[in-house]
Structure 1
Amino acid sequence: MNYVYETMYILRPDLGEELVTQAIAKYQNLVSDNGGTDVESQHRGKRRLAYEIQRQRDGIYIQLNYKGNGTQVAILERAMRLSEEVIRYLTIKQEVPKEEATEEQEVAEVEA
């Protein structure tokens, strides 16, 4: 069963625009290559952090939304943990709207 996930991550502020674009593409491809669907990314821009993280006062916020079965989350978070460009990340599993949930159940029942 697929769930909807949202991963918000913060990149170092000293990265150039080209490196930010490459990082976004890297994580989008990582999710889609491992079975994630409906991968969407939103560049939220450079913002001031509430507190200092790894000696950084600013960060570039990126929001990544996707559907998957959960294995993508582990793979994505491992890559971010090992990366020097990501200073913080957080993934949440969103509630699936009831309309979509009933449609998926109907499709599963028809296939069975």
Structure 2
Amino acid sequence: MRKYETIFILHPSTDEESVKASIEKFKGVIENGGGVVDNVDFWGKRKLAYEIDKVGEGFYTLVEFSANPELPKELDRIFRITDGVIRHIIVKKEK
């Protein structure tokens, strides 16, 4: 299993319950895909470096996980089709 981390930004109009539900959804995708969530760090609402579709802030969440190489592709697909996700990135951590 390889170590990965992902950061995703949710739209600022998302309510607190929906933010928590989205985080649990993405954790579930990782765990159901055979991965292990090592750490979830919710950063809260922060200002974006630049506006995206006239949105200037969002809810940031960092998730560190271990998984097989196929799981990040599925997680990326889920991020793309989920309403409310402004931006996301998945990177493999170096040893």
Q: Into which bin does the TM-score normalised by the smaller protein fall?
A: over 0.9
SS of alignment partner, residue 77 of structure 1 = helix
Change (3 A) 1:28 1:39: farther
Would you tell me which structure has more helix in proportion to its own residues?
A: 1
> Secondary structure, in 3 states, of the residue corresponding to 1:60?
strand
d(CA) in 2 for partners of 1:91, 1:38: 14
Letter in 1 for 2:84: E
Tell which deviates more after alignment, 69-78 or 24-33.
Answer: 69-78
State the alpha-carbon separation in 2 of the partners of residues 70 and 55 from structure 1.
35
Aligned match of 2:76: 77
8 Å Cα contact 1:48/1:57 also seen in 2 = yes
Question: Aligned residues: percent identity?
Answer: 34
1:2-32 CA-to-partner distances (Å, cap 9, x unmatched) read 1100000100011110000000000000010
Q: What does residue 94 of structure 1 align with? A: 93
| Number of corresponding residues | 95
Between structure 1 and structure 2, the one with the greater Rg is 1
CA distance in structure 1 between the partners assigned to 2:55 and 2:24 by the alignment: 23
Q: Which residue of 2 aligns with 1:44?
A: 43
Give the letter for the 2:74 counterpart: I
Structure 2 gaps, min length 5: none
- Aligned-residue RMSD, C-alpha: 1.0
Cα pair 2:37 2:66 within 8 Å, conserved? yes
The match for 2:67 is 68
Q: Which amino acid aligns with 1:10?
A: I
TM-score by length of 2: 0.95
Shift of 1:72: 1.3
Retained in 2: the 8 A contact 1:49–1:58? yes
Q: Counterpart amino acid of 2:21?
A: Q
Q: TM-score, normalised by structure 1?
A: 0.81
Which fold has the larger relative contact order, with Cα–Cα distance below 8 Å and residues 6 or more apart in sequence? 2
Query: Aligned equivalents of 1:90 and 1:38: distance in 2?
Result: 16
Secondary structure in 1 aligned to 2:63?
Answer: strand
